[in-house]
Amino acid sequence: MKTKKIPLRMCIACRQGKPKKELLRVVAANGDLIVDETGKAAGRGAYICPTIECLDKAKKSKAFSRTLDTPMSDTAYNAMKRVILRRDIK
Protein backbone atom coordinates (compact mmCIF):
# COMPACT_ATOMS: atom_id res chain seq x y z
CA MET A 1 0.00 0.00 0.00
CA LYS A 2 1.25 3.44 -0.94
CA THR A 3 1.80 5.99 1.81
CA LYS A 4 0.15 9.36 1.33
CA LYS A 5 2.50 12.32 0.91
CA ILE A 6 2.05 14.97 3.61
CA PRO A 7 2.55 18.51 2.26
CA LEU A 8 5.09 20.54 4.25
CA ARG A 9 5.10 24.32 4.60
CA MET A 10 7.56 26.67 6.29
CA CYS A 11 6.64 29.05 9.09
CA ILE A 12 7.62 32.61 8.12
CA ALA A 13 8.66 33.41 11.69
CA CYS A 14 10.68 30.45 12.98
CA ARG A 15 11.50 29.02 9.51
CA GLN A 16 10.65 25.44 10.52
CA GLY A 17 9.05 23.08 8.03
CA LYS A 18 5.90 21.48 9.40
CA PRO A 19 2.88 19.65 7.98
CA LYS A 20 0.44 22.05 6.34
CA LYS A 21 -2.44 21.10 8.66
CA GLU A 22 -0.48 22.14 11.77
CA LEU A 23 0.14 25.69 10.54
CA LEU A 24 -2.09 28.74 10.28
CA ARG A 25 -2.54 30.22 6.78
CA VAL A 26 -2.75 33.98 6.38
CA VAL A 27 -3.88 35.55 3.10
CA ALA A 28 -3.34 39.08 1.81
CA ALA A 29 -6.68 40.28 0.43
CA ASN A 30 -7.64 43.86 -0.44
CA GLY A 31 -4.61 45.29 1.36
CA ASP A 32 -5.31 43.52 4.65
CA LEU A 33 -4.21 40.25 6.25
CA ILE A 34 -6.96 37.68 6.78
CA VAL A 35 -6.72 34.35 8.61
CA ASP A 36 -7.71 31.53 6.27
CA GLU A 37 -9.02 28.75 8.48
CA THR A 38 -10.24 26.62 5.54
CA GLY A 39 -6.94 26.77 3.66
CA LYS A 40 -8.74 27.43 0.38
CA ALA A 41 -9.14 31.22 0.22
CA ALA A 42 -8.04 32.91 -2.97
CA GLY A 43 -4.84 34.88 -2.95
CA ARG A 44 -1.25 34.52 -1.94
CA GLY A 45 -0.83 32.96 1.46
CA ALA A 46 1.84 32.60 4.10
CA TYR A 47 2.04 30.09 6.91
CA ILE A 48 2.79 30.64 10.58
CA CYS A 49 2.95 28.33 13.60
CA PRO A 50 -0.17 28.67 15.77
CA THR A 51 1.78 30.06 18.72
CA ILE A 52 1.87 33.55 20.19
CA GLU A 53 5.69 33.44 20.14
CA CYS A 54 5.82 32.98 16.35
CA LEU A 55 3.13 35.61 15.85
CA ASP A 56 5.09 38.14 17.91
CA LYS A 57 8.31 37.23 16.12
CA ALA A 58 6.63 37.70 12.72
CA LYS A 59 5.29 41.09 13.79
CA LYS A 60 8.63 42.25 15.17
CA SER A 61 10.59 41.13 12.08
CA LYS A 62 7.89 42.40 9.66
CA ALA A 63 7.77 38.96 8.04
CA PHE A 64 4.27 39.45 6.60
CA SER A 65 5.36 42.71 5.01
CA ARG A 66 8.27 40.96 3.29
CA THR A 67 6.37 37.83 2.29
CA LEU A 68 2.99 39.22 1.24
CA ASP A 69 3.83 42.90 0.60
CA THR A 70 1.14 43.80 3.14
CA PRO A 71 1.95 45.34 6.53
CA MET A 72 0.38 43.80 9.62
CA SER A 73 -2.20 46.09 11.19
CA ASP A 74 -3.23 45.91 14.84
CA THR A 75 -6.64 44.52 13.86
CA ALA A 76 -5.02 41.74 11.82
CA TYR A 77 -2.65 40.96 14.71
CA ASN A 78 -5.56 40.75 17.17
CA ALA A 79 -7.59 38.56 14.79
CA MET A 80 -4.67 36.13 14.42
CA LYS A 81 -4.11 36.11 18.17
CA ARG A 82 -7.80 35.23 18.76
CA VAL A 83 -7.61 32.35 16.28
CA ILE A 84 -4.43 31.01 17.91
CA LEU A 85 -5.93 31.21 21.41
CA ARG A 86 -9.12 29.54 20.18
CA ARG A 87 -7.03 26.68 18.72
CA ASP A 88 -5.30 26.22 22.08
CA ILE A 89 -8.64 25.75 23.82
CA LYS A 90 -9.79 22.94 21.51
The answer, yes or no, to whether residue 38 has pLDDT greater than 90, is: no
Residue 59, pLDDT score: 95
| End-to-end CA, the chain | 33
Instruction: Give the pLDDT confidence of 58-73 residue by residue, as tens digits.
Output: 999 999 999 999 999 9
pTM of the complete model: 0.89
**Residue 51 dihedral angles phi and psi, to the nearest 5°:** -130, 150
Q: Judge whether 54 and 48 are in contact, CB under 8 Å.
A: yes
Q: How would DSSP label each residue in 12-69? A: TTT--EEEGGGSEEEEEETTEEEEESSS--SS-EEEE-SSHHHHHHHHHTTHHHHHHS
